Each structure stands twice: as structure tokens, then as C-alpha cells.
């Protein structure tokens, strides 16, 4: 029988840890960590994510603010807001929710965020820090996946890990974190030859491609740990991951469900990054 990792419960544990850390921070520095989320446009999924981030921040004692902008906002206006937040000393964390509206290039906005406040870990300085083993702010979803694997007792040292997907938000930082944990890492993607055979080599398989139920039994080595980052709708409009859960459940050793797996961890790690950023800023004064 597969061990199904309860992301909701593990995320609550992380959030409790962060809350305790926030209490210590407030006692020491006389203020709460500040998290500012920029939401531009009306993407319905983003609206839900941002509301959840807002609620989770409040529950952890973090001073959360959401800046809601119209989809007609210009790149210059977004840049001006980011610069204002960079200059505001009460702001410890800045997150620009993606996607930004059509016609606004995201790269210059993400690069404008002060790396010390970059709680998404998307700035080149933090990307470089992650790959060179420095103490960077690390993207939330991949660090949540690592925490899930640790909580599930999955050994990473020497393990063969395959990351399916090569995005800057998940695939690439995920590969870097697995490498830092001494796994032997392959990044596989849509152009990989014999994709199922490559995935079948994995002791640890992380699926982050955004294709509903693509990972079927032929992609999975018996006993493998499978982490599903996907958030899709199936043919009936039901929320599902990149993994065909029902098809692989009897084969895998460890698996995360969708919903209730990786999703809740992303928010928990965002709160953790906010506390880390706030603490580092205070210590570097
Ligand atoms: N949109 C979907 N995932 C993410 C994320 O991790 N960070 C941001 N900023 N936007 C997202």
C-alpha cells in the first residue's frame, strides 16, 4: 500500500513553526514581518491563491498586504510599485503573483524586486545563490516538495531523482534542491526521448508539467516516491494533478494527492521565506 503524504497536515505543522518564529521575531524587534503581494489582473486562480496567502499570513502573525491592480496596468506602473515596496522599510517580503497581465513582460518586474525581499526566490541573485549553495531565498513550491519528502522519510542521498518539467518556478529549482540533497538528478521534459523509460528510472519522481494525469503506471518504478506538483482540471472539470493517482497508487511507495499535497506546502514555505527575509534584514542592519 502506498504511503499518501498529507500535505495539509504537514503544511499546518510548518505554519505552526513559522508562527512560533514570528512570536520570537516580534518580541525581539518590536514589529511583525511584513509581506506584500502584488496581484495584477483578474485571473481567477490567482485571486484564490492570493486570498489564501493573505489568510495564512494573518494566521501566522505576519503583516500581510495585497496590492490589487487592474489588468490594464502598465509595466511601468508595476515597476513603480515594486520600487516603492523596495524602499519601504516595513516591507520584508514582496511577491508579484504570476501570470502578470498580457503584454506586460514579467522578467524586468521580477528582476526589479530587491533580492533581500524576494520571497519567491525568482531574482537572478537568489537563483544563483541556490545553484552555488549560498543561503538564498528558495522558490516556495520546490522547497515545499523537499519538506514533504523529508516528512515522508524518503532518502534522497544517492537516490535517482527525475524532475519532469523545466520551468523556472518549479522544475529547475527543484532539480537544484535535489542535487543539494545529494540525489542524482535528471531533468526530463517534452522533448526527452523515451520519457516514460527515463521516469521509470526514478526513485524520486517530481511531476511538474501541467498536463492532467499524464504520469501513468508505465512512468513509475515500483516503490518510487512520486511528488505531484500539477494543478489541472480533468475531462469532468475536477481538480487533478499531473499524475494519474488511481493508476499508480498500487505501484508507488509514497505519493502526494491533488488537492491536499504540494499546494498547501507552497503557502507554508512562503510564510517561512517571509520570516527568513525579515530576520536576515534585521540582522544585517
Ligand atoms: N503563480 C503560480 N505559482 C506562483 C508562485 O509560486 N509565485 C508567484 N509569484 N506566482 C505564481
Q: What is the mean pLDDT of residues 148-158?
A: 98
User: Ligand 1: distance of its center to the CA of 122 in Å?
Assistant: 10
Q: What is the mean pLDDT of residues 155-179?
A: 98
Q: What is the mean pLDDT of residues 146-159?
A: 98
Among 169, 265, 271, say which to mutate for ligand 1: greatest number of ligand atoms within 8 Å of CB: 169
- Structural domains for the chain: 30-114 (3.40.50.10860), 140-263 (3.40.50.720)
Secondary structure (DSSP) of 176-231: HHHHHTT-EEEEE-TT-TTHHHHHTT-SEEEE-S--TT-B-GGG--TT-EEEE---
Please identify, by atom number, the ligand 1 atom nearest to the C-alpha of residue 96.
9
Residue 154, φ and ψ in degrees, nearest 5? -85, 120
97 is catalytic: yes
Residue 114, φ and ψ in degrees, nearest 5? -55, 120
Please report where in the chains the cell 511601468 appears, as a residue: 76
The SS3 call for residue 2 is coil
Q: Share the mean pLDDT of the chain.
A: 97
118 is catalytic: no
What pLDDT is recorded for position 231? 95
Residue identifier of the C-alpha nearest atom 3 of ligand 1: 98
User: Ligand 1: distance of its center to the CA of 97 in Å?
Assistant: 5
Please write the tens of the pLDDT for every residue from 6-51.
Answer: 999 999 999 999 999 999 999 999 999 999 999 999 999 999 999 9
Q: How many CB atoms lie within 10 A of CB 268?
A: 26
User: Ligand 1: distance of its center to the CA of 95 in Å?
Assistant: 8
What pLDDT is recorded for position 134? 85
Q: How many CB atoms lie within 10 A of CB 238?
A: 9
Please write the tens of the pLDDT for every residue from 181-224.
Answer: 999 999 999 999 999 999 999 999 999 999 999 999 999 999 99
Catalytic residue chosen out of the listed positions 6, 63, 92, 97: 97
User: Ligand 1: distance of its center to the CA of 178 in Å?
Assistant: 20
Residues with CB under 6 A from ligand 1: 95-98, 120, 140-141, 169
User: Ligand 1: distance of its center to the CA of 194 in Å?
Assistant: 30
Residue identifier of the C-alpha nearest atom 9 of ligand 1: 97
C-alpha pair distances (Å), 158 with each of 79, 136, 155:
43, 24, 8
Please write the tens of the pLDDT for every residue from 72-129.
Answer: 999 999 999 999 999 999 999 999 999 999 999 999 999 999 999 999 999 999 999 9
13 is catalytic: no
C-alpha dihedral (77, 83, 88, 89), degrees to nearest 10? 160
Is residue 135 over pLDDT 90? no
In angstroms, the CA 254 to CA 116 distance is: 35
40 bridge partner residues: 69
Q: Which of 285, 284, 197, 278 is nearest to 34 (CA)?
A: 278
- Angle, vertex CA 145, rays to CA 144 and CA 146, nearest 5: 90
C-alpha pair distances (Å), 48 with each of 40, 45, 51, 99, 177:
13, 5, 5, 13, 28
Q: How many CB atoms lie within 10 A of CB 5?
A: 25
Q: How confident is the model at residue 283 (pLDDT cuts 50, 70, 90)?
A: very high
- % the chain with pLDDT above 90: 99
73 burial level (CB within 10 Å; 0-12, 13-18, 19+): middle
Lookup: cell for 34: 511584513
Please write the tens of the pLDDT for every residue from 244-261.
Answer: 999 999 999 999 999 999
Please identify, by atom number, the ligand 1 atom nearest to the C-alpha of residue 46.
1
Amino acid at each position: 500500500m502506498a504511503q499518501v503524504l498529507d500535505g495539509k497536515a504537514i503544511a499546518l505543522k510548518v505554519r505552526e513553526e513559522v508562527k512560533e518564529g514570528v512570536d520570537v521575531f516580534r518580541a525581539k524587534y518590536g514589529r511583525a514581518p511584513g509581506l506584500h503581494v502584488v496581484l495584477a489582473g483578474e485571473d481567477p486562480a490567482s485571486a484564490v491563491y492570493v486570498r489564501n496567502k493573505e489568510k495564512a499570513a494573518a494566521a501566522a502573525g505576519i503583516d500581510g498586504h495585497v496590492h490589487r491592480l487592474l489588468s490594464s496596468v502598465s509595466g511601468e506602473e508595476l515597476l513603480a510599485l515594486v520600487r516603492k515596496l523596495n524602499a519601504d522599510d516595513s516591507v520584508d517580503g514582496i511577491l508579484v503573483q504570476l501570470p502578470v497581465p498580457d503584454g506586460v513582460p514579467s522578467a524586468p518586474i521580477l528582476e526589479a524586486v530587491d533580492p533581500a525581499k524576494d520571497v519567491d526566490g525568482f531574482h537572478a541573485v537568489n537563483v544563483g545563490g541556490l545553484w552555488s549553495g549560498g543561503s538564498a531565498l528558495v522558490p516556495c513550491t520546490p522547497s515545499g516538495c523537499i519538506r514533504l519528502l523529508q516528512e515522508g522519510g524518503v532518502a534522497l542521498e544517492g537516490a535517482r531523482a527525475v524532475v519532469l518539467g523545466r520551468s523556472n518556478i518549479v522544475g529547475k529549482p527543484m532539480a537544484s534542491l535535489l542535487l543539494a540533497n545529494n540525489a542524482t538528478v535528471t531533468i526530463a521534459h517534452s522533448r526527452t526521448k523515451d520519457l516514460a523509460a527515463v521516469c521509470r528510472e526514478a526513485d524520486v519522481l517530481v511531476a511538474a508539467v501541467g498536463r492532467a494525469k499524464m504520469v501513468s503506471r508505465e512512468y513509475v518504478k515500483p516503490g518510487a516516491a512520486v511528488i505531484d506538483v500539477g494543478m489541472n482540471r480533468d475531462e469532468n472539470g475536477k481538480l487533478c494533478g499531473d499524475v494519474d493517482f488511481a493508476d499508480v497508487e498500487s505501484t508507488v511507495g509514497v505519493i502526494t494527492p491533488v488537492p491536499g499535497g504540494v499546494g498547501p506546502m507552497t503557502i507554508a514555505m512562503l510564510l517561512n521565506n517571509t520570516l527568513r527575509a525579515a530576520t536576515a534584514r534585521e540582522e544585517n542592519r
